[in-house]
Amino acid sequence: MSHQKIKFGVGHVSWQPYSKITPIEGNIAVGLLKSRLFFLLLLVLLILPISACGQASPPVSTPTGSMATASLPPTDTPAPSSTPTPEAPMAILLAPPDSDQATAAALQTMLTSLAAQAGLRFQVRPSLGVGGVGNVRIVVAIPPDPGLVALASSRTGTQFLAVGIPGLKPASNLSILDSQADRQDQLGFLAGYLAAVITEDWRVGIVSEEDTPAGKAASLGFRNGVTYFCGLCLPVYPPFPNGGYPVHVDLPAGAGPEDWQATITYLASWQVETVFVNPAVADDKLLAALAKADMNLIVAGPPAEAWREHWVASLGAQDPLQAVPDLWTKLLAGKGGEQISQPLGFTGVNPDLFSPGRQHLVETMLADLLASFIDTGVDPQTGESR
């Protein structure tokens, strides 16, 4: 058996073959081996605590019976309500099929805005049966009368407003907005008086509507107004009409250019100077033809530029719709029974043909007429003499 010699050096151990290791060399080798083992053990002891600290985790306590986890009580989800949300109250414009479309359109625009501001629903209806249609706060109605007295009696919780419907009286839930210009007898009377005041020899005439109560009322009212001012109204020089002045012409419904020309020819034959044209027949072409024939015109509307030179005055009343917003506020508060009348008067005059002095004279008469100190002598419902 051969022997090898172990040689230790710094950083290495090598084996050398020797046949025999001396005791001194063996002791040295054992000492170095012990030193290295001690160093490794010390290094391990230093590393173990650091590793244990990095891997340590906080202890987890296990709840006991006295530390039972608390749970929240279940929350009951409310069931949806079966009661429906009530609808907002309603405002209705009651416009019968044969009502004036311009008035209906103007009111619809106005009431749509007023209803929205008040939080009301809004509808336009041609009729409204007794008993109604749900929660109706306000009903505004225009002619012809849809039976407002019966409707108001059947719906005491609803406020009604009649705009321009004649023959009604206010009630606790029925208010009335009208215009005295709707009285055709008074409109004609004022026009006749005015025509006689400004026209030499009282050579005046009227063009009205044939065979209608309104046309008859305007025509007879005009003749009575002329007579009120000048009595027999006898001209100084010819021509002398049969029956005297005023001269009157009644046009049929749907009159056209041939009727207008015949009217102008007739009036010119009696040298008529001033003409009142009833609103029902006041076609712009007729008015222009009358002005072209050198006749001065009293009308119920504004003049056109084509015949402004021959315009005497416009008669009528303030637009009754202007009073609707103020009445609306009262109706919302449940205050009914109002009655507002827009008085008949002048909406414009031509001072070149109708001087301020004569205007004052006519206005004085008008005040007495509106105060019922002067009667037209005409039944406004039939157009016949009283």
pLDDT for position 36? 63
216-225: average pLDDT? 96
* Banded model confidence at residue 3, pLDDT cuts 50, 70, 90: very low
Distance CA 246, CA 220 (A): 10
pLDDT for position 16? 47
pLDDT for position 200? 93
pLDDT for position 293? 96
Architecture of domain 183-318+344-370: 3-Layer(aba) Sandwich (3.40)
Is a pLDDT exceeding 90 seen at residue 124? yes
* Banded model confidence at residue 84, pLDDT cuts 50, 70, 90: low
Q: Where are the domains of the chain?
A: 1-35, 90-168, 183-318+344-370
190-213: average pLDDT? 96
Residue whose tokens read 């009036």: 267
Cα–Cα–Cα angle for 36, 37, 39, nearest 5°?
65
Is a pLDDT exceeding 60 seen at residue 132? no
Torsion (CA) 172, 178, 184, 186 in degrees, nearest 10: 90
244-248: average pLDDT? 93
Distance CA 187, CA 346 (A): 11
pLDDT for position 82? 57
Six token digits for residue 326: 């103020």
Q: What is the pTM of this model?
A: 0.61
205 backbone dihedrals φ, ψ, rounded to 5°: -155, 170
pLDDT for position 76? 52
How distant, in Å, are the alpha carbons of 4, 69, 72, 80 from that of 75?
A: 89, 18, 9, 15
Strand-pair partners of 201: none
User: Among 24-28, 34-38, 215-219, which is the least confidently predicted range?
Assistant: 24-28
* Banded model confidence at residue 178, pLDDT cuts 50, 70, 90: confident
The 10s digit of each residue's pLDDT in 295-345 is 999 998 888 888 999 999 999 887 778 889 989 999 999 999 998 888 889
Which residues, 6 or more positions from 264, have their beta carbon under 8 angstroms from its beta carbon? 289, 290, 293
Whether residue 198 contacts residue 353, with contact meaning beta carbons closer than 8 Å, is answered with yes
Distance CA 298, CA 216 (A): 18
Six token digits for residue 348: 């414009």
Whether residue 142 contacts residue 94, with contact meaning beta carbons closer than 8 Å, is answered with yes
Distance CA 200, CA 207 (A): 19
Distance CA 378, CA 312 (A): 25
Is a pLDDT exceeding 50 seen at residue 63? no
Is a pLDDT exceeding 80 seen at residue 275? yes
The 10s digit of each residue's pLDDT in 350-366 is 999 999 999 999 999 99
Which residues, 6 or more positions from 92, have their beta carbon under 8 angstroms from its beta carbon? 122, 123, 124, 125, 128, 136, 138, 139, 140
* Banded model confidence at residue 102, pLDDT cuts 50, 70, 90: confident
Whether residue 142 contacts residue 161, with contact meaning beta carbons closer than 8 Å, is answered with no
